[in-house]
């Protein structure tokens, strides 16, 4: 059964996640056993032919770190003209989304239960993606942990190779200093041009819902920063 696995010591790099799997329920286990063949993709050296995977040619959107899948499910249902690839390392969230996709009979989503950096490198050819969405990545709040944050110059450069010119990168975070780091990285990357949020964080766009997690944070007084960039 596919899942993110540790790499040999000599191949290890600093990762943006730690596998804290939490409770993996019997229903989530059954979802993998029953629905993975329909929705799941296994990482291989040769990336998929996306037209063959989805049976059509449509804008391709990558969501990195979809959590419990609440946003990704909503996107697939409300943007049926697009095809979505979701990446998440934590199996309980993947299992939950597998069940939800099946319940709604969604057919424009495929999933990787793997490290997003490796998926980006292996699953997509140059300019394969029309859009990338990264919502509330782990903020790694302690200063000594900042090197673990996903949005680093190297990752921004790799994203740029996979996104078509004119394509979009949308980020959201509820940590002000991470938003500032995101802006610094992307504003200094020649491949990206700010559309919104470069001055401190734009308003939530209509294609991003307010999740239950975000609502809870708002009640506690947490701010949210949305940043939107275009591939030059």
- Give catalytic residues, as residue numbers: 138
Helix (H, G, I), strand (E, B) or coil at 231: strand
DSSP 8-state assignment for residue 64: E
DSSP 8-state assignment for residue 148: G
Whole-Å CA distances, 226 to 65, 79, 134, 169: 16, 20, 10, 11
Whole-Å CA distances, 219 to 104, 174, 214: 30, 13, 9
Helix (H, G, I), strand (E, B) or coil at 197: coil
Angle at 84 between CA 81 and CA 85, to 5 degrees: 165
As a whole number of Å, the CA-based R_g of the chain is 17
Side-chain-side CA neighbours of 196 within 13 Å: the count stands at 13
């Amino acid at each position: 059964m596919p899942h993110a696995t540790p790499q040999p010591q000599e191949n290890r790099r600093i990762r943006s996640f730690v596998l804290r799997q939490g409770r993996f329920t019997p229903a989530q286990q059954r979802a993998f056993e029953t629905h993975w063949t329909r929705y799941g993709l296994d990482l291989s050296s040769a990336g998929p032919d996306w037209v063959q995977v989805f049976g059509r040619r449509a804008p391709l959107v990558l969501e990195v770190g979809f959590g419990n899948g609440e946003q990704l499910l909503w996107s697939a249902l409300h943007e049926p003209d697009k095809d979505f690839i979701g990446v998440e390392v934590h199996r309980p969230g993947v299992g939950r989304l597998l069940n939800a996709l099946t319940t709604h009979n969604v057919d424009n989503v495929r999933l990787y239960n793997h490290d997003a950096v490796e998926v980006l490198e292996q699953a997509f050819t140059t300019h394969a993606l029309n859009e990338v969405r990264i919502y509330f990545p782990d903020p790694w709040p302690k200063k000594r942990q900042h090197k673990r944050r996903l949005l680093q110059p190297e990752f921004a450069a790799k994203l740029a190779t996979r996104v078509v010119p004119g394509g979009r990168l949308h980020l959201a975070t509820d940590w002000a200093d991470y938003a500032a780091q995101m802006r610094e990285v992307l504003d200094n990357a020649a491949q990206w041009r700010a559309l919104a949020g470069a001055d401190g964080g734009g308003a939530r766009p209509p294609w991003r819902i307010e999740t239950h997690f975000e609502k809870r944070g708002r009640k506690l007084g947490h701010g949210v920063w949305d940043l939107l960039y275009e591939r030059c």
